[in-house]
């Protein structure tokens, strides 16, 4: 009996368990998945919780219900991977041997990386919304907040779901408008990037929306420290931004276990072949989702597309064949723009987001890089798709793992605005 | 693809003025680009430039964090050496592509 071990039962790990249990013969392979948590969070929901669009209890389910029959779930913290022994040590001292390892331990916020961020003002006037607790606490705060300077802030790239901070700013604008207090709130978006997003054409479209919603942008801001007492954020270049309520996306880092295993880069992400998803650490270690260092967005859609490629490659690897599956960096993200609208972006390593129709070329019904109500319904419908299709490894109609160029206005039309 | 004249030679540059072939870089070329960027080069500056080039040759993506942990300089000093957008400015002087630390 051979052992395939998956570390992490989040979006990526759970998808891999569901894919592989169908493909690997049960009399030859034992699949085991390790995670210390009991709860599977619907992470795209974190964005909606602070604005009371979702209640916290709507975005949680038990991890166990998504682990398929035939896969063994081990609920223990992981101490480290001993790659030279082909073993994983658990915190309780037990060792799990593997023939093939999949690392899917994701990323987490590391607010302690920024001086002054953690402390008595954390979750009082400085909040994150990238964790269940952060989003839930911010929801309570916003219920009674009387207004002032709200600063939405990104510490450093890369971060999980790179559009989420911008969506947060858009939704905040709507939220305060609906409460009849938009005039009492000064909204500022502070980012280490040149503009609103990482890709030029999307940035152009999104900058326009910032202007329309009266959200000030402070670009090229590399945070040095936060002064919680004075409510100021400082950058290395000498810029200072005042706030009353700081909603920050702290530095994102891979699991500390990766560092203990001596396998990570300086942010604890695992060096990974961006096409095959095999680790550069050892042949029998593969990496998927937010845990990799590949230059794709850290997002559930990316993990979903990667899972299809990785499944194919693992089967080839086991059979001693060449791995033909090649991940193209495909990401597909709904971007909430407030007032019941959203836009959709679809892109990969080489192709930046452009306008067009999706998923059926020329038809849609979704519009790329354009605001529409249908896109917003798509985003809300996605929660159902996530729980019922995505993490259990069912294919999503019309959406392939490789990005399609059909239906996209690739060149030379510049992104229209207005 | 355009070229620009630096130190008596034409070097290949993109639209934003970043060199596209590090082989064409010499310290004199770097010196002239630095003048355009209004940076007065000192031995410390060159030490940082040489670190950036080594990282680029080793295909290590450059980030502000990486500079901070380089042992060559710290982030605060990096900002003092190359004010306003230090990584972009230093990359241009070093003859390497504009950093794409953003995903």
Give the sheet arrangement for strand A245-249, strand by strand.
A126-127, A245-249, A148-154, A185-190, A216-218
Instruction: Decide which of A216, A233, A250 is a domain's last residue.
Output: A250
Query: What percentage of chain A reaches a pLDDT higher than 70?
Result: 98
- For residue B86, list chain A residues with Cβ-Cβ distance below 8 A: 237
Domain boundaries, chain B: 25-103
Residue matched to tokens 């190359």: B82
Residues A233 and A126 in one domain: yes
What average pLDDT does the segment A32-56 reach?
A: 97
Closest residue on chain B to A195 (Cα): B102
- State residue A394's pLDDT score: 86
Residues A135 and A208 in one domain: yes
What average pLDDT does the segment A240-246 reach?
A: 98
Report residue A328 CA to chain centroid gap: 17
The domain total for chain A is 2
| Residues A130-173: tens digit of each pLDDT | 999 999 999 999 999 999 999 999 999 999 999 999 999 999 99
What average pLDDT does the segment A197-208 reach?
A: 82
Closest residue on chain A to B66 (Cα): A266
The answer to whether the CB atoms of B79 and A236 lie below 8 A apart is: yes
Q: How confident is the model at residue B99 (pLDDT cuts 50, 70, 90)?
A: confident
Tell whether A280 lies on the interface with B, counting CB pairs under 8 A: no
Q: Which of A5-19, A282-296, B68-82 has the lowest mean pLDDT?
A: B68-82
A412 upstream amide cis, omega within 30 of 0 = yes
Q: How confident is the model at residue B101 (pLDDT cuts 50, 70, 90)?
A: low
Instruction: Decide which of A293, A318, A343 is a domain's last residue.
Output: A318
Instruction: Decide which of A232, A250, A268 is a domain's last residue.
Output: A250
Residues A34 and A135 in one domain: no
Closest residue on chain A to B86 (Cα): A237
Tokens of A232: 């100021």
Q: What does pLDDT average to over chain A?
A: 93
Residues A243 and A263 in one domain: no
Report residue A2 CA to chain centroid gap: 32
Any domain includes A385: no
Under 8 Å CB pairs connecting chains A and B tally to: 44
pLDDT for B102 beyond 80: no
Write the secondary structure of A289-336 as one string of H (helix), E (strand) and C (coil): HHHECCCCCECHHHHHHHHHHHHHHHHHHHCCCCCCCCCCCCEEEEEE
Any domain includes A381: no
Residues A51 and A122 in one domain: no
Tokens of A125: 């006037």
Provide the CATH number for the domain around residue A161. 3.50.50.60
The answer to whether the CB atoms of B103 and A198 lie below 8 A apart is: yes
Mutation site, B16, B62, B73, B102, interface A, largest A CB count within 10 A: B102
What average pLDDT does the segment A246-261 reach?
A: 98
Residues A244 and A273 in one domain: no
What average pLDDT does the segment B59-67 reach?
A: 83
CB atoms within 10 A of CB A134: 24
Q: Which domain holds residue A307?
A: 2-106+255-318
Q: Which of A53-62, A216-225, A388-397 has the lowest mean pLDDT?
A: A388-397
Instruction: Give which of A398, A401, A389, A391 is closest to A325, Cα–Cα.
Output: A401
Any domain includes A97: yes
pLDDT for B32 beyond 80: yes
User: Which residues of B are catalytic, by number?
Assistant: 102
Q: How confident is the model at residue A411 (pLDDT cuts 50, 70, 90)?
A: low
A365 upstream amide cis, omega within 30 of 0 = yes
- State residue A216's pLDDT score: 97
What average pLDDT does the segment A189-217 reach?
A: 88
The answer to whether the CB atoms of B103 and A162 lie below 8 A apart is: yes
Query: What percentage of chain A reaches a pLDDT higher than 90?
Result: 80
- State residue B65's pLDDT score: 86
What average pLDDT does the segment A61-79 reach?
A: 97
Any domain includes A210: yes
| Residues A96-139: tens digit of each pLDDT | 999 999 999 999 999 999 999 999 999 999 999 999 999 999 99
| Residues A279-297: tens digit of each pLDDT | 999 999 999 999 999 989 9
Q: How confident is the model at residue B1 (pLDDT cuts 50, 70, 90)?
A: low
Of A90 and A390, more confident: A90
d(CA A346, CA A354): 8
């Amino acid at each position: 009996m051979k052992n395939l071990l998956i570390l992490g039962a989040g979006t990526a790990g759970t998808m891999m368990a569901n894919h592989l249990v169908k493909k690997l013969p049960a009399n030859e392979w034992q699949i085991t998945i390790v995670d210390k948590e009991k709860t599977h969070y619907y992470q795209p929901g974190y964005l909606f919780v602070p604005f009371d669009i979702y209640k916290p209890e709507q975005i949680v389910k038990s991890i166990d219900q998504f682990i398929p029959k035939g896969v063994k779930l081990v609920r223990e913290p992981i101490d480290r991977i001993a790659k030279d022994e082909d073993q994983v040590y658990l915190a309780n001292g037990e060792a799990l041997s593997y023939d093939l390892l999949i690392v899917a331990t994701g990323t987490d916020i590391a607010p302690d990386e920024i001086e002054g961020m953690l402390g008595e003002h954390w979750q009082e006037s400085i909040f994150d919304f990238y964790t269940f607790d952060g989003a839930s606490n911010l929801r309570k705060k916003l219920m009674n907040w009387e207004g002032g300077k709200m600063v939405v802030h990104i510490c450093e790239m890369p971060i999980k779901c790179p559009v989420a901070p911008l969506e947060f700013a858009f939704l905040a604008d709507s939220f305060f408008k609906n409460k009849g207090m938009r005039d009492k709130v000064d909204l500022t978006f502070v980012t280490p990037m040149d503009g609103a997003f990482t890709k030029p054409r999307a940035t152009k479209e999104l900058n326009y929306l910032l202007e329309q919603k009266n959200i000030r942008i402070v670009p090229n801001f590399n945070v040095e420290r936060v002064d919680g007492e004075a409510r100021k954020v400082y950058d290395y270049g000498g810029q200072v931004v005042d706030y009353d309520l700081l909603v920050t996306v702290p530095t994102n880092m891979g699991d500390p276990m990766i560092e203990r295993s001596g396998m990570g880069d300086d942010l604890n992400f695992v060096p990974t072949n961006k096409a095959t998803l095999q680790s550069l650490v050892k042949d029998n270690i593969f990496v998927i989702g937010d845990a990799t260092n590949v230059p794709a967005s850290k997002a559930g859609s990316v993990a979903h597309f990667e899972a299809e490629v990785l499944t194919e490659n693992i089967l080839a690897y086991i059979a001693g064949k060449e791995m033909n599956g090649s991940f193209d960096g495909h990401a597909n993200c709904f971007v909430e723009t407030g007032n019941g609208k959203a836009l959709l972006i679809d892109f990969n390593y080489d192709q930046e987001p452009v306008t067009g129709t999706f998923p059926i070329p020329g038809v849609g019904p979704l519009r790329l890089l354009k605001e529409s109500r249908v896109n917003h319904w798509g985003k809300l419908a996605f929660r159902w798709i996530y729980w019922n299709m995505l993490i259990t490894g069912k294919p999503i109609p019309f959406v392939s793992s490789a990005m399609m160029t059909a239906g996209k206005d690739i060149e030379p039309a510049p992104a229209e605005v207005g | 693809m355009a070229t620009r004249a630096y130190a008596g030679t034409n070097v290949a540059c993109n639209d934003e003025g970043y060199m596209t072939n590090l082989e064409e870089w010499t310290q004199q070329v770097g010196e002239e680009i630095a003048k355009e960027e209004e940076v007065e080069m000192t031995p410390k500056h060159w030490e940082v430039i040489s670190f950036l080039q080594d990282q680029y040759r080793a295909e290590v993506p450059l980030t502000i964090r990486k500079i901070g942990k380089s042992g060559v300089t710290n982030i605060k000093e990096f900002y003092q050496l190359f004010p306003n957008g230090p990584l972009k400015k230093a990359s241009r002087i070093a003859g390497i592509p504009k950093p794409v630390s953003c995903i």
